[in-house]
A and B are shown apart, each in its own frame.
Chain A
Amino acid sequence: MRKDASEVTAHPVLIFWIIAGWAGYLLLPWYGIEDGFFRFEWLVDGWPLEDDYAPAAVLVGRGEKLWLAPLVPALVAPLLVIRKRKIDPAYSVVLILSGAFGFSWLIAQGFGIGIRGFNYDWLTALFGELGDRQFGMGYGALLVASSFLFLFTQGIAARGAINGDVFVVSAIGGVIVIVATFVFFPIAKMLIFAFITEDGGYSATVFLSKFFDDRLWGLGCLWGARCGAAWNSLFLAVLVGFLTTVLGLAFALVVTRSGFRAKRVVRALTVLPIITPPFVIGLALILLFGLSGSVTQFVAELLGVQPTRWLYGLPGVLIAQTLAFTPIAFLVLIGVVEGVSPSMEEAAQTLRANRWQTFRTVSLPLMRPGLANAFLLGFIESMADFGNPLVLGGNFDVLSTEIFFAIVGAQYDQGRAAVLAMVLLFFTLSAFYLQRAWLGRKSYTTVTGKGDAGVHPLMPKRLAVPVFLVAGAWGAFTIVVYGMIVYGSFVELWGVNDSLTFKHYVTAFAVAVNENGIHWRGAAWDSFWTTIYIAAVAAPLTAAVGLVTAYLLTRQSFAGKNAFEFGTMLSFAIPGTVIGVSYILAFNVPPIEITGTGIILVVSFIFRNMPVGVRAGIASMSQIDRSLDESSLTLGANSWQTFRRVILPLLRPAILAALVFSFVRAMTAISAVIFLVSAEYDMATSYIIGRVENNDYGLAIAYSTTLIFVMLAAVGLLQLLVGKTQIGRRTQFGGGG
């Protein structure tokens, strides 16, 4: 009954992409449309003849944009092999050649010809002045590019790559192209900017002078002046990494190695960093320790001293980051502490080690890689953090905020921003590389698939006392800080007028009902709905890209898989500010011109949060036995059908988790967003930062509190849904009918 694919001569996937390519060339507007990607007024506004909306075929037919003409043969050639068999050598050769030629021509003309004609002098020298110009790519170009890409991958598959599996080869090709476009291309473009002189030439001395700037590497703080931003960032990140690791370990020990009752509460801590916009902790600290903060005022009155601005600078940023990132360290370390096999510890005890000796000689050494991992995570997070230094940094310059001021400040120096971003990227990538290269090999995970019946011993006394003290104090502090956030949102004007009020909420979220329906009057609604909209668009795309990547990484083997994995996880180590700078440098000119649109925000979220989806996918896919895929394949399903009918349904909890987390992360993000927002697309976080800069703390805090509760609701809903899917079951045939 089974059909033999090698005999088939009508390939639906091939036909689909050929039609798509032709539709892109003949029908859809070739260039980007000013109104926006999701506006369709052009359909009734002179399309297809109006120049702005014309398809490539119309433009070429009129003798304009003639450089689009060479795409035609690449679109025609695949038509010749539609009736051929896959094993026919001509089939793969034609597809590979036309796909590769079409795709590279598209890219070459896109970069070669810009808004002012030829982009490069040598092109002008070669062909003479071009009396024409072109804009960013639109629907047509996008569709034609995808068509060429997937024609190419089908050609590769027909040559027998990955058992001739079209779906897998296409997925690999697709992921590589989008990651290259939206991660590597902008970073590369940014690096080039570091070498550009003011008059547009390239020069290494420009780079060197910016690189060896005193503001970057100065060591003035050793004798009382100011240190460079690079040293500040490094010093801060090391401190934060160390502190969060120690505190995280203390919490992890309390939860796993003590008789402490309220363990669930401590575990709930781990949700906090997910749902807290990064600068909110800084705001709460200002309410406590700022010039007019409660604690500052209280102490000043008690001791009769002048309140100071001690918080602004290293101390404030350090406290805020430690508060914000301790839960991350805890999350890592709880797995590590639980991962130490109880039977190892029991073995040590039967060998006459007492509890303290067991902890010191067995448990702690086994946790060492986990501790290093937690340290590096804290390091990377601190380096990349933008919100807290912006709010609390004062004169303490760190790289992430310096980048911001280099771009948006009075100096407006793209080259300097690029150099700073390179330094920051160097630090985080080194930490990322260390984490993978060094820790990847040294896994001491002692948990095996087999049940380990032992019980973790309790902490020894001399460890338990300090651990409880530290964890208790820090836990109480965290609760106070979060309490301040909620309380602060109801206070009229902190430190001046302490009366309680709903004023801030009204200003932000007032709603009026009139004859036209609901009127969103509050100042925050615009950015709130934009945020929800952008986050809701980005979340499913992030989850999809992440899960497909995870599928390729866990289920397929192909040449260059390690590089593929490194490339896809890389965006985790790229700080948001770097992404932000590189995006505005790369995407404000054709061929991809999306600065100021909602798309650039969506795209930045997809690639900032993709590692989250990839990790969720990898974690749950490695729970699904490979034999399930294989049995589906031997039962006649192809890999796409297997992915859709076996893997996806089993991944439902992971999909939900990826959806919710990318949604929530998109709502809390600030570092990349602040570069990419525009008047039309303002996001909640950048709006709040704007309020903070205007010293409008009440509104900022009220808005933050609302965001925290919205996200708490999202996470809670996820818990409910995931709980349900475990008992949910589908019956295709009904009750025996």
Chain B
Amino acid sequence: MADTRIRSKAAPVSFRGVSKVFGKDVVAVDNIDLEVTAGKLVTLLGPSGCGKTTTLRMIAGLEMASSGRILIGDKDVTQLPATDRDVSMVFQSYALFPHMTVLENVSYGLGFSGFPRAEARDRARAGLDLVGLKGYDDRLPSELSGGQQQRVAVARALVLEPQVLLFDEPLSNLDAKLRRQVREDIRAIQQELGLTVVYVTHDQEEALAVSDEIVVMRNAAIAQIGTPRELYDAPVDRFVADFIGEANIIPCEIVAVDGESAEIAVDGYRHRLPSRGMPPGPATLAVRPSRLRIGVENGFRATIRKATYVGVRMEYSVEAPFGEVFVVQDDVQNPLAPGEDIRLGFAATGPVLIPQG
């Protein structure tokens, strides 16, 4: 019997100045450069209409780049249609063929790759095994639950041992509980086999949880590329700060820069943080709601406007001199009441300076 274990033939993907224009002037992707390292899981993240799905479909060959070059491995695939690229994709709707059984679905692509029928069947079975669907061979897709269909779709893509595996919002049709588990399963398989995976989502929590690297996209362009930590802790701008976990955008004044560290003032309140190369003068600060502290002695003055109890924590809308801020506190035992005057400060780490704008 042939060795049917699924292996990885992971290859890097690179975009060199790629643009995609629909019709005459609808720019879906605008001159992006992107390197996806082999064996890594990279997420394309952004609001709807930012070009992330178009980017993914250009890797698959379902859309052709209007300009620029796309390489998979060291081969230029810019002009190759989907059929001829060594890439497979898991669709948002799963796209299982309703008239074929589970096994026929999974062995569908193997048939076109030149495997003899018996070996295709064995490989398909091995794929089903890998996703935990042993014994479901003869079911029709309509006889499976959403989560099972999802796994068939993954198996169908995996058995081809593609150089790159693509996921288009794979969790969006699953209920909330299942999502966490499926996303962990996907991550586990990816790491175990060492696959190159490009993953599209608009859910920042999902992106943070599964990715080696996240590409945040906005208006057809890349806003920032980085590891989940880098994006969360050091967003390059207001958009990224706000998109990855909420952030309060607070105007401040850099009063002194001392090498790597800077001292800022917000309405008289002083705080030290990394300078990120910014000169003294007016600046903008991004602060996560959980990184604001209520009751800091020399903090700036503010007034509670709204207080909401959400179980694990309290959420406050607070009016500060420069506008409204959103604060989250873990202390649910001693809630503050609307109208109370407080002093606000920052946690020791967390707030970051971002370029103004």
Using a CB–CB cutoff of 8 Å, the interface residues on chain A facing chain B are 1-6, 87, 160, 163-165, 625, 627-628, 630-639, 641, 645-646, 649-650, 729-733, 735-736
Contact = CB atoms under 8 A, between A and B. Distances in A.
A4 B79 CA distance: 12
Given A2-B86, A641-B112, A635 B156 contact: yes
A131 B60 CA distance: 61
Given A2-B113, A87-B79, A634-B85, 16 more contacts: A4-B84, A627-B92, A628-B95, A631-B156, A633-B82, A634-B157, A634-B166, A635-B108, A635-B109, A636-B109, A637-B109, A646-B97, A650-B97, A650-B99, A729-B99, A733-B138
Nearest to B76: A6
A730 B140 CA distance: 10
A190 B156 CA distance: 56
A164 B160 contact: no
B81 A633 contact: yes
A645 B153 CA distance: 17
Contacts of B80: 4-6
Given A634-B60, A733-B137, A1 B89 contact: no
B62 interface: yes
B231 interface: no
B121 interface: yes
A645 B89 CA distance: 19
Contacts of B156: 631, 635
B112 A627 contact: no
B93 interface: yes
Contacts of A628: 95, 97
Contacts of A6: 79-80, 84
Contacts of A627: 91-93, 95
A6 B89 CA distance: 22
A485 to B, nearest CB: 42
B88 interface: yes
B127 to A, nearest CB: 12
A632 B96 CA distance: 9
18 contacts: A2-B112, A4-B80, A5-B83, A6-B84, A627-B91, A628-B97, A632-B97, A633-B81, A634-B60, A634-B85, A636-B83, A637-B83, A638-B83, A645-B108, A649-B99, A650-B97, A650-B99, A732-B104
A1 B61 contact: no
Chain B, interface residues (CB within 8 Å), range:
35 or more
B82 A630 contact: yes
A180 to B, nearest CB: 28
A634 B61 contact: yes
Interface of B: 60-62, 64, 79-89, 91-93, 95, 97-101, 103-104, 108-109, 112-115, 121, 137-138, 140, 153, 156-157, 160-161, 166
A446 B108 CA distance: 38
A482 B347 CA distance: 88
Given A1-B114, A627-B95, A634-B60, A736 B137 contact: yes
A161 to B, nearest CB: 11
A1 B104 contact: no
B81 A163 contact: yes
A631 B89 contact: yes
Nearest to B97: A646
Contacts of B153: 631
Query: Lowest 7 A-B CB distances belong to which pairs?
Result: A635-B109, A631-B95, A627-B95, A636-B112, A633-B82, A163-B81, A1-B113
A165 B93 contact: no
Contacts of A634: 60-62, 82, 85, 87-89, 157, 166
Contacts of A635: 88, 108-109, 112, 156-157, 160
Contact of B140 (A4, A164, A729, A732): A729
Of the listed residues B60, B87, B109, the one surrounded by the most CB atoms of chain A closer than 10 A to its CB is B109
A453 B138 CA distance: 35
A1 B84 contact: no
B91 A630 contact: yes
A733 B103 contact: yes
Nearest to B121: A733
A650 B99 CA distance: 7
